[in-house]
Amino acid sequence: MKWESRKPKRVGKIKIQIPRFMKAFLPTICLMFLTVFSSQAQTTNAPVANPFPSISTLTTWASLNSQQQFDVAIRAVGFKFEVKEPGEGSTAYTYIRKVTVNEVNYTDRIVYRITNNNSASIISLVTASTDLVSLYTPQLATFKNNNCKTEMSKDKNTTCSCYESANFAIDLCDERVKLTMGDGNKYFVSVAKK
């Protein structure tokens, strides 16, 4: 028997018969699959915005010398006004923001302290939810590192780094504290306009 005769004979194209009632539902089924897969792609690939303002933003806020302008800026990143505390020579405005990290609730606090003659202001941010030292230290590479002389830096449970530029003094601290969920870090950054 010749080799050619062993070749399988070509069969014509196979036609799949789709019932009429399925043809009506086919576009709907395809649309459902498309919706499911596209929504999964959006949730897994969505970028996560950093919830904390950069050093550049903090120095900009400290330069405002206006509580009204600061109020608009800070509300844009989710903080809400909590309390106003008048003091001798300055007034402090505290804002808070509730955040959840790994199913644990935290409260971020930011204080805007402005002199009564609007000549200088300080931004102070306190949180236990994020490592501000790791976040802000690389951003302070262009600042001069000085010896800290603040009261907080004298605490044996607190580690502080103090930075300075021509216009700003910045303190960045990491304080060991007891949280309700156990040991944790309480991070503090202060940006003062000279």
**What are the pLDDT digits (tens) for 92-151?**
999 999 988 888 888 999 999 999 888 888 999 999 888 999 999 999 999 999 989 877
**Structural domain boundaries in the chain:** 55-193
Report helix, strand or coil for 59. Answer: helix
What is the pTM for the complete model shown?
Answer: 0.70
Tokens representing residue 30 in the block:
């395809």
What CA–CA distance (Å, rounded) separates 3 from 128? 80
**Tell me, what's the pLDDT at 42?**
44
Tens-digit pLDDT profile for residues 24-36: 555 555 555 555 5
Contact present, 159 and 140 (Cβ < 8 Å): no
- Other CB atoms closer than 10 Å to residue 113's CB: what's the count? 21
- Of the chain, the percentage scoring pLDDT greater than 90 comes to 46
**Tell me, what's the pLDDT at 154?**
81
